[in-house]
Structures are given as C-alpha cells and as structure tokens.
Amino acid sequence: MKAFSHKTAISRSNFSKPIQVALASNLMPENSSFFDYGCGKGDDMLALKTLGHDVAGWDPTHKPKAKLKNADIVNLGFVVNVIENPKERIDAVKKAYDLTNKVLIVSSRLNFEIKNNNHHPHKDGFLTTRKTFQKFYTQEELKSFIDTTLNVNSVPGAPGVFFVFKDESLKGGFEANRYRRRPDFHFKLNANEIFEDNKSTLQPVIDFLLTRGRLPDEFEIENLEKLKEKFGNAKRAFNLIRQVLKEDDWAEVEEERSEDLLIFLGLSKFGGRPTISKLPKDVQLDIKAFFGNYKTACSKADELLFSAGNQGLISEACQKAPCGKLIHDALYIHQSCLPKLSPVLRIYEGCARAYIGDVEEANIIKFHRYKPKVSYLSYPDFDKKPHPGLKGAMVVPLKSFNVKFYDYSSSDNPPILHRKEEFVPDDYPHKKKFKKLTEQEEKHGLFDNPRVIGRNNTWNSILEEKGVRLRGHKLVKNT
C-alpha cells in the first residue's frame, strides 16, 4: 500500500515545535536567513518573515517549483519521518545540510507518540488511518541517523529536535550558553564621585562582569570608543570599577561563572570535547581567567562529571539542596530552583539534558536519589491553579537512556501537586501566596491522610467532605 505523503502538511497558527525550540535557544538572531526544506504550507515562513528574517522554502507538494537556496538556518522539520524510502531520507538530510551556512534543524516524531489504534505497521514505520506514512524514532536512533548520515555530532535541542552546527565555534558557544546562569543579583557598589559621574559609561562593563564573572577584553566592550574618550584606555576604567566593587560580590559571581563553565566542559566530554582553538574566543578567555589553562579546566570538569556518577554524593547533595521538596527517594524542584543547586546536581541534570534537550513545558524536575535517573514533569498553570494536574512526565535513565513518557493529558484524575511553596526558591514571586494556602489547608485537616490526596478526584472528595472549596489560592466554606 502506498502512503500519501502530501497529506502530512498541516496548517499552524503558531510556530512549529522545531522553530519554537530554535527561537528559545537564541539560534536565530534578527535578520538571519532561513530556508525551510519541506516547508509544507509555509506557516513557519510567514511567521518568521514578520520577525524580520529573510525566508524562503521548498516543498515537493506545495512549492515544487521554488528554488533551493543557501541560508544561515535550514529547517528539515518533520520530514524524515514521512519519507518511506530510507535512501530518500538520507538524501533529504544531505541536501538540507548542503544548503546550511550555520545551523541545520532536524526534527521527527518519537516512538512514544505512536497511537496503536490509529497506526498499522508498514515497512520500517506505520500507516495512519489517513494512509500517510510515519516513521517513529527513539531519541538515540534519530541522533544516530543524523550523525551517521552527515558524519557530525548533532546537539539535542528538545525531544525529537536536533541542531547540526557547521561551525564548531558556534556549537561551543551554544552549549556553553546553555549552562550559563543568568545574573540574578546586582553588585553593591562603594561608589565615589568619579564613578557616579561616569556611571552610564561604565555600566556595560559592570553588566558584563555580572554575566561572565570577569573583565571584558576590548573586543567585548560595546561602547569601547566612549570608554577610551572618558578614561584614555580600558585599563583605567577597569581600575575604577575595581575600586567601587566589593570583593566578596565579585568573588561570588566569579565562582558561579566558573561552575557554569565546568558543567559545560564536563558535559562536552560525551560528544567529544573540542580543542580549545575550536571554542569561541570569549569562552577561551573565560577559561584563562578562571583556570589559567585548558588542561586544568578540563581536569576539574572531569572530576565534577565523575562525581555525578556517585549516587551517594547525589543523595547527599539532594539533602543539602537550598530549595525543593525532599522525599525519601527523590528531590523535586521547580525549574526556577535549578540555577541555585550545587554543581554536582546541575551536572547530574545536565547529563539528562545533554541527551534529551530541553523538555517542552516541563516545570518540575525530579532528581532520583538512589537510581541514576532524572524526570521532567509538566504541570500547566503551576502559578494559577492551586493544585495543578500532571499533564506528562518524561523519565530519563542516565545509564540506559531508555526514555519513558507518561501522558496524563486526557486523564480526568491526574496526579496533582500540594504544598507548592516547597518546590520553589525563597525569592519566587508567588511563594508567600502558596504557603498561605497550605496553612489554610492544614488548619482544615485536608492533609490528615496524605496517602489519599495525590489524585484530583480523591482530593475533590476530601474538599467536599470537609465542606470547603477553593477560590483561586484561597480556601472558602461551602454555602
């Protein structure tokens, strides 16, 4: 039976998943050129054009006469999974890669999306009820297919989405940035009159310090000419900044950024750590500033990566975590808590992310204490709903990488969260509101039998039994 591949193109009101992931990963700076190889009806192209990108595309059914064009970003979005012939799949990947100047995006559907009642085995895939062909991959199988076809080491952007970089330096910069925390505090300054008079000129350098933990090289200063005009040279400006910064604050930022760098270098070992010359110039400067040389940095990174394989250390780090809900066999954290964890827990989670990429909609992360596993849980409306229901869970075993997905999206009785304040850090904007609700619920005895409150239906039964109901994050009596 022949599959009808032209039926697989769909219309979208939003960006497709691979484009969403690329945009969220900052892989498409303003005015990037973009080519959609297998563009379908062209919805991604139209949306990207409104953002100022130079876009073009080709599709065998909808735009067969369009010319193939080289572009900074080339998208092969959900194409390889609808091609029946394995050789044609390989040809599609190679042609898309040949058109790529910077980054190729390859995406496919994964095996956990198989709906047995709607799919029938056909060749190395399935036929749907619409007579379209679908090839479902595992994450590892898709990566292997891309890497073997192109002789590359692709980077997972998300489950079923991979980035292939033409430039090793661009790849290194992307991966380093993925594990670099964003500044979440400001320096306390011992400001003097000279500094106050020149604050606007010096502020970009201070912002750089917060981001990178070191003074910038001249090529990294966005207002270098103005700085030289005010101070004669960058060195004099740096000396003034040193005078007004508190050493403890600088040391704290330096420590954070050096930890971020070690996590990046440690995880880079999985895909073949690049030589230092293949890293972006700014990352090379980070290494020199924090560790003196690349050999020392890699040695420390290997120590950190090795420690993530010690389950005893992981369990101990979970117990000492500054935020999150600790139970007997796991630590649950809200995603906002991740940057605050110790380096060993961050690289432990990084091992999972290096394999699976960023898990869409996941806002709770589960660190398994006694088995090498990390789980990503999706609780939509975490902030809005007092007890959000679990939409889906992805479990990533760090030895077998036999990823499991559990779908609760159509369940009328999903697992739900309680005591949300325990999952978030102290500076989370809604923590006080969450805690106040918990105190109300404790006062009314709603948690007296914790074994039966974990599901939506039984929880609602307990509310009814106690004669109360929830109005947002407030508990009120039934009238």
Q: Tokens 């062909």 belong to which residue?
A: 133
Structural domain containing residue 344: 311-421
For 241, phi then psi, to 5°, come to: -65, -40
Same domain, 269 and 320: no
- Evaluate whether 425 touches 340 at the Cβ level (below 8 Å): yes
Q: Is residue 32 included in any domain, yes or no?
A: yes
The percent of residues in the chain predicted with pLDDT above 70, rounded, is: 96
Burial of 450 (0-12, 13-18, 19+ CB in 10 A): exposed
Amino acid 343: pLDDT: 97
Q: What is the largest CA-CA distance in the chain?
A: 81
- Evaluate whether 468 touches 442 at the Cβ level (below 8 Å): no
Amino acid 462: pLDDT: 95
pLDDT grade, residue 72 (50/70/90)? very high
Q: Which helix (H) or strand (E) holds 83?
A: none
Q: Is residue 171 included in any domain, yes or no?
A: no
Same domain, 23 and 134: yes
Q: Tokens 């609760």 belong to which residue?
A: 408
Q: Is the pLDDT of residue 350 over 60?
A: yes
What is the average per-residue pLDDT within 218-243?
A: 90
Same domain, 159 and 18: yes
Cα separations (Å) of 355 from 7, 217, 459? Answer: 32, 34, 36
What is the residue type of 203?
Q
Say how far apart CA 478 and CA 397 lie, in whole Å. 45
Out of 4-8, 56-60, 237-241, give the one with best mean pLDDT: 56-60
Same domain, 320 and 303: no
Q: Is the pLDDT of residue 6 over 60?
A: no
Q: Is the pLDDT of residue 153 over 70?
A: yes
What is the average per-residue pLDDT within 93-108?
A: 98
**246, two tokens:** 């508190």
Amino acid 120: pLDDT: 74
Q: Is the pLDDT of residue 401 over 50?
A: yes
Burial of 457 (0-12, 13-18, 19+ CB in 10 A): exposed
What is the average per-residue pLDDT within 287-303?
A: 97
Q: Which residues contact 132 (CB under 8 A, 6 or more apart)?
A: 3, 4, 5, 7, 8, 82
Q: Is residue 51 included in any domain, yes or no?
A: yes
Q: Encode pLDDT of 249-274 as tens digits.
A: 888 899 999 999 999 999 999 888 99
Amino acid 198: pLDDT: 87
What is the average per-residue pLDDT within 329-341?
A: 97
Q: Which residues contact 312 (CB under 8 A, 6 or more apart)?
A: none
Same domain, 466 and 397: no
Out of 38-52, 173-187, 431-445, give the one with best mean pLDDT: 431-445
Look at 402 and 349; give whichever has higher pLDDT. 349
What's the CA angle centered on 396, arms 394 and 401, to 5 degrees?
135
Minimal CA–CA distance to 244: which of 212, 197, 181, 184? 197
- Evaluate whether 181 touches 126 at the Cβ level (below 8 Å): no
For 210, phi then psi, to 5°, come to: -65, -40
- What is the DSSP code (8-state) at residue 41? T
Same domain, 411 and 438: no
Q: Report if pTM > 0.85.
A: yes
pLDDT grade, residue 195 (50/70/90)? confident
What is the average per-residue pLDDT within 168-179?
A: 93
Q: Is the pLDDT of residue 100 over 60?
A: yes
End-to-end CA distance of the chain: 63
Q: In what order do the strands lie in the sheet with 133-134?
A: 119-122, 125-128, 133-134
Amino acid 8: pLDDT: 42
Number of domains in the chain: 5
Same domain, 274 and 159: no
Q: Is the pLDDT of residue 4 over 50?
A: no
Amino acid 5: pLDDT: 42
Name the β-bridge partners of 377: 364, 393
Out of 116-130, 203-217, 229-243, 410-424, give the one with best mean pLDDT: 410-424
User: Left (φ > 0), alpha (ψ -120 to 50) or beta: where does 324 sit?
Assistant: left
* CATH code for the domain in which residue 55 is found: 3.40.50.150
Q: Tokens 């952007």 belong to which residue?
A: 157
Q: Is residue 186 included in any domain, yes or no?
A: no
What is the average per-residue pLDDT within 339-360?
A: 96
Q: Is residue 187 included in any domain, yes or no?
A: no
Same domain, 19 and 151: yes
Q: Is residue 33 included in any domain, yes or no?
A: yes
What is the average per-residue pLDDT within 8-30?
A: 78
Same domain, 259 and 216: no
Say how far apart CA 334 and CA 249 lie, in whole Å. 26
Same domain, 439 and 391: no
Strand segments (E) across 113-200: 119-122, 125-128, 133-134, 155-158, 161-165
Look at 69 and 130; give whichever has higher pLDDT. 69
Q: Is residue 188 included in any domain, yes or no?
A: no
Q: Encode pLDDT of 112-141 as tens digits.
A: 887 666 677 777 777 877 778 889 999 999
Strand segments (E) across 38-195: 54-58, 71-77, 100-107, 119-122, 125-128, 133-134, 155-158, 161-165
Q: Tokens 């109360």 belong to which residue?
A: 468
What is the average per-residue pLDDT within 8-19?
A: 66
Q: Is residue 471 included in any domain, yes or no?
A: yes
**352, two tokens:** 């999972």
Mean pLDDT, the chain, whole residue set = 91
Same domain, 125 and 81: yes
- Evaluate whether 273 touches 279 at the Cβ level (below 8 Å): no
**411, two tokens:** 């369940």
Same domain, 155 and 262: no
Q: Is the pLDDT of residue 344 over 60?
A: yes
Amino acid 182: pLDDT: 85
